Homo-oligomer: A and B are copies of this chain.
Amino acid sequence: MRIDSFRPALVLLLSCAFIIPAASQSKDKPLLGFDPEGAAAERTLEAKFDSLLKRENLRETMKRLSARPHHVGSPYDKENAEFILSLFRSWGFDAQIEEFQVLFPTPKVRVLEMITPEKFTARLAEPTLREDSTSAQTSEQLPVYNAYSIDGDVTAQLVYVNYGVPKDYEELQQRGIDVKGKIVIARYGGSWRGIKPKVAAEHGAVGCLIYSDPRDDGFYQGDVYPQGAWRNESGAQRGSVADMPLYPGDPLTPGVGATKDAQRIALKDAQTLTKIPVLPISYADALPLLKAMNGQVAPDAWRGSLPITYHLGPGSATVHLKLEFDWKTETIRDVIARLKGDERPDELIIRGNHHDAWVNGASDPISGQVAMLEEARGLGELAKSGWKPKRTIIYCAWDGEEPGLLGSTEWAETHAEMLRKHAAIYINSDSNGRGFLGMGGSHTLEKFINEVARDVTDPEKKISVSDRARAVQLLRGDKNEQREARERADLRIDALGSGSDFTPFLQHLGIASLNLGFGGEDGGGSYHSIYDSFDNYTRFIDPNFDYGIALAEVGGRTVLRFANADVLPFEFGNLTDTVGQYVKEVTQLTNDAREEIKEKNLRLSDGTYAAVFDPTQPFVMPKAEQPAPYLNFAPLENSLARLQESTRKYQTTMMQLAAQNRLPAQSGALDEALIKVERAMTREQGLPRRPWFKHQIYAPGFYTGYGVKTLPGVREAIEQRNWQEANEQIGIVGQTIENVAVEIDRATTLLQATR
């Protein structure tokens, strides 16, 4: 077996044309986890797999799955699950539906009206469009609302809070504006939506409106639907506002599967419901409110594209918000389809994409779902023609992703013990569109997924999707990204926060995960609206399903290689490089905080703020802050050195084996050891104040929601300027990294035993 050599600082020698046709690249090139012979066989198999994929299937299946609204609890959600089940079975998979019982509130009462300075009642509806056939299915559509908002009936003055993230409240505070007892109006964007009511409530607001400003996904960006793809004045964004950075899944069954008989907490004890009522609205509904507001003019960066002067309030505009929900329990249906492994059936390769939507969801999630299904059909065909995977493959069509990763989380929690023991990888996709390959995931998989991307051809450019991703990074990246695009052998993959079904696998169970999809040439504003339809998708997003096929090729290769490899294709050089970067970042973050505090205190004491502020405008002097201490980063730095040494040993041993063209003996035991490396990145106690999140390298940010925080225990403590906790967490994360090194050493020992 050969394995990619250790090149920590490899500089790509760029010829005049580094972008060459993908096909010519892949011949005879080694594959991580395969010997040369195995690699050639694998590539032959993949070529056959590619030839089986048919874009017409994607179109037909999307048309079928998005034909009617199919949110959690809807008849068509169930029909879809059963339809997907029938597909998997017809392709030879051992498939079942697994059901869970989850809390899923839907609106009974939604009232939003302006009381002063004039009367206005929000419409809270997305109108039917002649040009969009499914937009007329009003009787089946979920109304516009935010799931897991609490009930409420509040009347108060409005305050505009921009994106509603913590630093926006700092800005308000400096201007002498308090949201206590007020209803905040925030625009979508800048963070995951659930952060907005959470931070608003922390500051004492009694209600929260979230509107879609045309600056962010409406006419400012491009022509609006149906003329173009962007959100029109009535388009609104549904979505969950459960406090998922605390824990995702059913609010009533934290940490355990929401099976029929599961122990449930009382609704009043559910920590992830919002603390204040929250409602999403269109900009047609927001405009009269924002226009009626007075008070200070909003800071430059806060202003959207509505034809008004954005004011902060509070003052003239008072609104009444009344929300009541039906707090019912619904059944969700995950479709789980197995293709049993031949040699190592206990090792699991898990691939998933959700099937539930907020309304018709042609893009979200059906575009990813149909690519995954076509991929599964291809594997089924291969199996019928005699191919047998070494390891067991599990395809999962998740239900209930939209309200809060319900289907994946409850399944992962239900099968946690089994998964912790056997799962080698989880591969996720979600919405897909035209453009560039996005790769996120565990850095133990970075080299592997780069190999995959080098072997898949971009349908528009006939170069590899890797080369295209590298080119766009070179053209549009920041200085550092441009440098890496030129110099680094592998494209750096994104660390994963949250926002799709990988979260329970990666961050709760410590299973190495990937999240894959194309995009960047498919902008639009139909997200979570009734206009995310087949008509819309096939006009504006990926009309020929070219990138649906490309996703199937990427996903299929990922599954096939993981299923077929002699040794699981993990690699630790890129992990070590990346963790090293994170350690640098948190050190720099502390230095930056120290400088910032010092500068602020200096400006206070030398009178700079006092000298500058406009006496005709409200201004609250900042408060002096304790200087930031120097933290003891030694535990992190020592553990990183240890990790580097362990990685070096593993790779040297691998290279020696490869040079002798020998395969490691005891590959099964080696696989088991390799699987444990990612598991070692978790800690049973989890992160501070959120034990469900056990991964110590990646987590969704407590105040970003989807956005990742790497080395989260350390980074968030520094961001919150909780220096004591930062010091503690440095120790904990250092220990975690040591544990990872120990697991890599175990793998090395197994390798050495074969010599």
Residues of A within 8 A of B (CB): 14-19, 214, 219-224, 228, 230, 297, 303, 305-309, 435, 460-461, 463, 467-468, 471-472, 474-476, 521, 602-603, 605-612, 614-616
CB distance from A217 to the nearest CB of B (A): 12
* A306 cross-chain contacts in B, Cβ below 8 A: 307
Are the C-beta atoms of A467 and B307 separated by less than 8 Å? no
Complex Cα distance, B306 from A308, in Å, reads 9
Across the interface, name the chain B residue whose C-beta is closest to A435.
B614
Are the C-beta atoms of B307 and A214 separated by less than 8 Å? yes
Among B214, B521, B611, the residue within 8 A (CB) of A19 is: B611
Among B471, B472, B611, B615, the residue within 8 A (CB) of A607 is: B471
* A609 cross-chain contacts in B, Cβ below 8 A: 475
Are the C-beta atoms of A307 and B309 separated by less than 8 Å? no
Across the interface, name the chain B residue whose C-beta is closest to A543.
B616
Are the C-beta atoms of A475 and B612 separated by less than 8 Å? yes
Are the C-beta atoms of B474 and A19 separated by less than 8 Å? no
Complex Cα distance, B602 from A15, in Å, reads 10
Are the C-beta atoms of A223 and B309 separated by less than 8 Å? yes
Across the interface, name the chain B residue whose C-beta is closest to A607.
B19
CB distance from A337 to the nearest CB of B (A): 36
Are the C-beta atoms of B521 and A616 separated by less than 8 Å? yes
Are the C-beta atoms of A608 and B19 separated by less than 8 Å? yes
Top 7 A-B pairs ranked by shortest CB distance? Answer: A471-B611, A19-B607, A307-B307, A471-B608, A16-B605, A521-B614, A219-B309
Complex Cα distance, B612 from A616, in Å, reads 50
CB distance from A403 to the nearest CB of B (A): 33
Extra inter-chain contacts (12) besides given A19-B607, A230-B309, CB under 8 Å: A18-B606, A19-B611, A214-B307, A219-B308, A224-B309, A228-B309, A435-B614, A461-B615, A463-B607, A474-B603, A476-B612, A521-B614
Complex Cα distance, B608 from A475, in Å, reads 7
Across the interface, name the chain B residue whose C-beta is closest to A609.
B475
* A614 cross-chain contacts in B, Cβ below 8 A: 435, 521
Complex Cα distance, B617 from A222, in Å, reads 13
Given contacts A19-B608, A219-B309, contact A460 B14 (CB under 8 A): no
Across the interface, name the chain B residue whose C-beta is closest to A15.
B606
CB distance from A238 to the nearest CB of B (A): 24
Complex Cα distance, B607 from A223, in Å, reads 31
Given contacts A214-B307, A468-B611, A471-B612, contact A222 B460 (CB under 8 A): no
Are the C-beta atoms of B472 and A606 separated by less than 8 Å? no
* A19 cross-chain contacts in B, Cβ below 8 A: 606-608, 610-611
Given contacts A463-B611, A521-B614, A606-B18, contact A222 B309 (CB under 8 A): yes
Are the C-beta atoms of B309 and A461 separated by less than 8 Å? no
Are the C-beta atoms of B468 and A612 separated by less than 8 Å? yes
Complex Cα distance, B608 from A220, in Å, reads 28
CB distance from A738 to the nearest CB of B (A): 39
Are the C-beta atoms of A18 and B607 separated by less than 8 Å? yes
Complex Cα distance, B609 from A435, in Å, reads 14
Complex Cα distance, B228 from A17, in Å, reads 58
Complex Cα distance, B220 from A18, in Å, reads 46
CB distance from A235 to the nearest CB of B (A): 15
Are the C-beta atoms of B460 and A605 separated by less than 8 Å? no
Are the C-beta atoms of A220 and B303 separated by less than 8 Å? yes
Across the interface, name the chain B residue whose C-beta is closest to A608.
B471
Given contacts A307-B305, A307-B307, contact A16 B606 (CB under 8 A): yes
Of A309, A460, A521, chain B has the most CB atoms within 10 Å of the CB of A309
CB distance from A479 to the nearest CB of B (A): 12
* A605 cross-chain contacts in B, Cβ below 8 A: 16-17
Complex Cα distance, B297 from A220, in Å, reads 9
Given contacts A214-B307, A475-B603, A605-B16, contact A611 B467 (CB under 8 A): yes
Complex Cα distance, B221 from A616, in Å, reads 17
Of A297, A460, A608, chain B has the most CB atoms within 10 Å of the CB of A608
Are the C-beta atoms of B224 and A611 separated by less than 8 Å? no
CB distance from A159 to the nearest CB of B (A): 18
CB distance from A546 to the nearest CB of B (A): 11
Given contacts A222-B309, A611-B463, A612-B472, contact A17 B606 (CB under 8 A): yes
CB distance from A310 to the nearest CB of B (A): 8
Across the interface, name the chain B residue whose C-beta is closest to A306.
B307
Across the interface, name the chain B residue whose C-beta is closest to A297.
B222
* A15 cross-chain contacts in B, Cβ below 8 A: 606
Across the interface, name the chain B residue whose C-beta is closest to A605.
B16
Across the interface, name the chain B residue whose C-beta is closest to A472.
B612
Across the interface, name the chain B residue whose C-beta is closest to A20.
B607
Among B18, B228, B435, B615, the residue within 8 A (CB) of A460 is: B615
CB distance from A132 to the nearest CB of B (A): 19
Are the C-beta atoms of B308 and A608 separated by less than 8 Å? no
CB distance from A435 to the nearest CB of B (A): 8
